[in-house]
C-alpha cells in the first residue's frame, strides 16, 4: 500500500476512463463475445445460467465472507466482552471491517449502483435488451436501481487486497498477486454473465483500492493519524462498556416504569 500502488491505480483509471469515454462502443465490443454464447434453448449470455459459473460466483463471495469473518467476530467479542483481549490486532479489525463496509457496501451499492443509471449489458438494445446503452461516465441511463456501474461482486473481490496488505512482508507480493487474480476472475465471470461491462469492473476495482489505500494510510502509514493496536482495542472496549451501561440503565428505567404502572 505505497505510493506506487496509488499511481498505478490512478493511471489505470485515467487511461481506461479516457479511452472508453471517447470510444464507449468498446464496452459493447468486449461484451459481444459473451452475448454470442447461446445455449440450446436460445438464451444469450448463457454463462449466467450455467451451473458451473453460478457456483463459481457463489464461491467467490463465500471466500470474501470467510476472509472478513475473523475480523467481524473479533470486533463483536471485543465490543461485548471489553475486558478480554482482542482475537486480532485492533487496527486490523477496524481496517478489514471498515474497508469492506465503505467500499463494496457504501460506495458501490448505496452510492453508485442505486444512483448511476447505467443499464447492464444484458438489458441494452445492442445486446438483445430494450434499454439505452450509455458510456461509463453517463449516469442518466434507463436502469432504475441496482445498475451496472459499478460491479458489486468485483468490488467485493477487490477488497481482498485489504487482507493481502496485512500479510507478512515476505508473503505480501504473493498475497497481492492472488487478490488481483481473484478480482480478475470475478470480473470475467460477471462480464460473461452479461451483468457488467468492462469499465464497470475496472472502476469497481479502482474505487475499492482507493478506499483501502486511504484507510491503510490513516491507520498504519501516516504519522499524523496512525494509532496503536492497543489504542484501537481500548476504544472498542470503551464503546462496548458504555453501550452495555446504557442498555442496563434503559432496562432499569423500564422496569421501574412498569412496576409503578402495575401498582396503580
- Per-residue HEC secondary structure of 221-239 comes to HCCCCCCCHHHHHHHHHHH
- CB under 8 Å, gap of 24 or more: what pairs does 159-163 form? 159/64, 159/68, 159/99, 159/100, 159/103, 159/104, 159/208, 159/212, 160/63, 160/64, 160/67, 161/208, 161/209, 161/212, 162/95, 162/96, 162/99, 162/100, 162/212, 162/215, 162/216, 163/67, 163/68, 163/96
Which has the minimum average pLDDT: 52-66, 83-97, 168-182, 233-247? 233-247
Flag whether the pTM goes above 0.95.
no
Q: How confident is the model at residue 254 (pLDDT cuts 50, 70, 90)?
A: confident
Per the prediction, the chain carries an average pLDDT of: 93
Please compute, for residue 36, the number of CA atoms within 13 A of its CA located in the half-sphere on the CB side: 6
The mean per-residue pLDDT over the stretch 79-93 comes to 91
Residue 246: the pLDDT is 86
Rounded to 5°, the CA angle 149-152-158 comes to: 110
pLDDT tens column, 16-65: 999 999 999 999 999 999 999 998 888 999 999 999 999 999 999 999 99
The CA distances from residue 157 to 35, 36, 205, 246, in Å, are 23, 26, 8, 38
Q: In the chain, what are the helix, strand and coil shares in percent, each to the nearest 5?
A: 70, 0, 30
Please compute, for residue 235, the number of CA atoms within 13 A of its CA located in the half-sphere on the CB side: 11
Residue 6: the pLDDT is 95
pLDDT tens column, 226-251: 899 999 999 998 888 888 788 887 88
The answer to whether the Cα torsion of 157, 91, 88, 76 is positive or negative is negative
Phi and psi of 124, rounded to 5°? Answer: -90, 155
Check if the beta carbon of residue 206 is closer than 8 Å to that of residue 63: no
Q: What is the dihedral of CA 232, 237, 239, 243, to 10 degrees?
A: 170
Q: Report domain extents, the chain.
A: 3-39+47-256
The mean per-residue pLDDT over the stretch 149-175 comes to 97
pLDDT tens column, 122-133: 999 999 999 999
Residue 167: the pLDDT is 96
Q: How confident is the model at residue 262 (pLDDT cuts 50, 70, 90)?
A: low
Treating both helix axes as pointing N-terminal to C-terminal, what angle do 90-100 and 51-80 enclose, rounded to 10 degrees? 140
Q: How confident is the model at residue 263 (pLDDT cuts 50, 70, 90)?
A: low
Q: How far apart are CA 29 and CA 26, in angstroms?
A: 5
- Residues constituting the chain: 264
All 3 cell numbers of residue 240?
Answer: 462496548
Amino acid at each position: 500500500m505505497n505510493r506506487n500502488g496509488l499511481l498505478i491505480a490512478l493511471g489505470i483509471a485515467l487511461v481506461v476512463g479516457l479511452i472508453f469515454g471517447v470510444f464507449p462502443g468498446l464496452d459493447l465490443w468486449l461484451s459481444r463475445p459473451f452475448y454470442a454464447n447461446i445455449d440450446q434453448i436460445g438464451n444469450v449470455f448463457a454463462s449466467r445460467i450455467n451451473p458451473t459459473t453460478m457456483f463459481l460466483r457463489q464461491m467467490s463471495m463465500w471466500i470474501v465472507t470467510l476472509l472478513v469473518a475473523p475480523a467481524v467476530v473479533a470486533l463483536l467479542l471485543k465490543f461485548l466482552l471489553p475486558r478480554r483481549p482482542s482475537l486480532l490486532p485492533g487496527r486490523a479489525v477496524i481496517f478489514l471491517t471498515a474497508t469492506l463496509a465503505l467500499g463494496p457496501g457504501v460506495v458501490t451499492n448505496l452510492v453508485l449502483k442505486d444512483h448511476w443509471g447505467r443499464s447492464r449489458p444484458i438489458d441494452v438494445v445492442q445486446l438483445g435488451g430494450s434499454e439505452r446503452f450509455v458510456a461509463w461516465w453517463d449516469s442518466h441511463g434507463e436502469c432504475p436501481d441496482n445498475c451496472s456501474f459499478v460491479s458489486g461482486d468485483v468490488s467485493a473481490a477487490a477488497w481482498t487486497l485489504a487482507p493481502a496488505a496485512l500479510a507478512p512482508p515476505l508473503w505480501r507480493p504473493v498475497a497481492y498477486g492472488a487478490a488481483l487474480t481473484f478480482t480478475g476472475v470475478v470480473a470475467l465471470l460477471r462480464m460473461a454473465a452479461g451483468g457488467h461491462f468492462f469499465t464497470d469492473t475496472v472502476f469497481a476495482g479502482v474505487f475499492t483500492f482507493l478506499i483501502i489505500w486511504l484507510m491503510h494510510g490513516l491507520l498504519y502509514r501516516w504519522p499524523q493519524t496512525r494509532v496503536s493496536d492497543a489504542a484501537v482495542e481500548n476504544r472498542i472496549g470503551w464503546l462496548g462498556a458504555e453501550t452495555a451501561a446504557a442498555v442496563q440503565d434503559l432496562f432499569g428505567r423500564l422496569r421501574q416504569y412498569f412496576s409503578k404502572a402495575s401498582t396503580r
